[in-house]
Amino acid sequence: MSALLPEGFASLEPFAAKWAVSGTAARAARRGDSTAEEREAFYEAAKDLLAPALAHLDARPLAEFSARETRLMNMMLSLGHVALAVEGLGDDEPRHASMRQHMHITRSPAGV
């Protein structure tokens, strides 16, 4: 089986199908559609890999990313959404998620 992510990030592969989402609005929706257990599991698996992932991704221009690197970048951007839920909102996430459906993201920096 071919690796979905760059070398050094194999522990995140089980999360790639769910969290390697392209687009800010899609990531926000994925956060809202996920369970607390799914968010926590991804957060715990990914939080300590954020710095190594950013170092890896910063080593080349965005336009030169491989599919694996694009997946990793999308996962780290999803981690930002998930960290807000896990670290910031905690048990209040479901209440905020219900209101998020009324917030429509139409544009984000660089369209990522």
Looking at residue 92, its amino acid is D
Map tokens 């300590």 to a residue: 48
> What tokens appear for 63 in the block?
């336009």
Please write the tens of the pLDDT for every residue from 33-73: 888 899 899 999 999 999 999 999 999 998 999 999 999 99
- Total Cβ atoms within 10 A of residue 58: 9
Mean pLDDT within 74-87: 84
Q: What is the mean pLDDT of the chain?
A: 82
Mean pLDDT within 78-84: 85
14's CB contacts (< 8 A; 6+ apart) are 45
